[in-house]
A and B are shown apart, each in its own frame.
Chain A
Amino acid sequence: MEKDQFIETILNSSKGISHVAPSNDLFSKIEHGITAANVPARTIWWVAASVAVLVALNITAVSAGKKPAEDQTTTVLASTLAPNNQLY
């Protein structure tokens, strides 16, 4: 008896439930979400391509920058050697 009453009370606690509205600033958040979601695919591809070109240029610049250092070492080494090929 007591158990049935408990069950009914709990089950009936949802009575009078009403629809409620969220905070007023939600619509502006949604508008922002829509704008972010509406970035054209072409723009995304352009950005990706630009990043790829930038990375490629950086790699080229770094590898080109290393070469003179190697050459310089070779030059210094060569200058220390006697130009007439005599050991003493």
Chain B
Amino acid sequence: MQFHLNDFKGIYDQYVALVYTVALHYLQNTQDAEEITQDVFVQVHQSLHKFRNDAALKTWIYRITINKSLDFIKYKKSRKRFFVFGHKADAEAELHKIAHFEHPGILMENKENAEQLFAVINQLPENQKTAFLLSKLEGLSNPEIAAIMEVSVSSVESLVFRAKTSLREKLAAKFETHRKKK
């Protein structure tokens, strides 16, 4: 079944903000999030004919975005490791890009605190991170998250609980370090 580009444009208009924002949750960099958005929609266009209606289009698009974002993080980490042995100027530029926090979806007054929050979210294991982001930042229900992650609802509950506990511990450690510095 061949999809017309007009149908694709409709899907793009409907989901582009969702894809871009989820990519921003993972990468906190507008340039990288645009790259992910581009890759996601190219894959959506290529695989639209294979799409089975037993899974909602939104769930499928979420899944592609998450997988692409996680792959991108792995790729960047491997490049960061490579740059340690590479040219100094390139390494510095790369590290600066990673350290630079960008998330246009966050309220201006919360930006500084959100930067600290994302710094600890980035330390979570992949599945806890995904469950937390979808639950707290995207506001999805546990059954919706379970469908996206292809796990049971009870697993999602457990992942979100563990993510929250871990975040609290990491933030408590951060608070102690911050107080000692003062």
Q: Is B20 an interface residue (CB 8 A)?
A: yes
Interface stretch, picked from A19-27, A51-59, A67-75, A80-88, is A19-27
B-side contacts of A27, CB under 8 Å: 9, 12, 16
A-side contacts of B17, CB under 8 Å: 19-21
* Residues from 88 to 128 in B contacting A, C-beta threshold 8 Å: 104-107, 110, 113-114, 116-117, 120
A-side contacts of B113, CB under 8 Å: 9-10, 13
Check B171–A10 contact: CB distance below 8 A.
yes
Check B21–A26 contact: CB distance below 8 A.
no
- Total A-B pairs in contact (CB under 8 Å)? 85
Check A23–B34 contact: CB distance below 8 A.
yes
A46 CB to closest chain B CB (Å) equals 22
Question: On chain A, which size bracket covers the interface?
Answer: 20 to 34
Complex CA distance for A34 and B48, rounded to whole angstroms: 13
Check A13–B110 contact: CB distance below 8 A.
yes
Complex CA distance for A22 and B35, rounded to whole angstroms: 10
Q: Is B57 an interface residue (CB 8 A)?
A: no
Q: Is A6 an interface residue (CB 8 A)?
A: yes
Complex CA distance for A21 and B30, rounded to whole angstroms: 10
Q: Is B45 an interface residue (CB 8 A)?
A: yes
Complex CA distance for A29 and B38, rounded to whole angstroms: 7
A-side contacts of B176, CB under 8 Å: 3
Complex CA distance for A6 and B116, rounded to whole angstroms: 11
Q: Is A16 an interface residue (CB 8 A)?
A: yes
Check A10–B117 contact: CB distance below 8 A.
yes
A-side contacts of B167, CB under 8 Å: 11
Check A22–B171 contact: CB distance below 8 A.
no
Check A20–B20 contact: CB distance below 8 A.
yes
Known contacts A21-B16, A37-B46; A13 and B117 CB within 8 A of each other: yes
Known contacts A20-B21, A22-B33, then 8 further A-B pairs from the complex at CB < 8 Å, ordered by chain A residue: A10-B171, A14-B136, A17-B105, A20-B104, A20-B105, A26-B34, A26-B38, A30-B38
Binding site for A on B (CB under 8 A): 5, 9, 12, 16-18, 20-21, 24, 30, 33-34, 37-38, 41-42, 45-46, 104-107, 110, 113-114, 116-117, 120, 136-137, 167-168, 171-172, 175-176
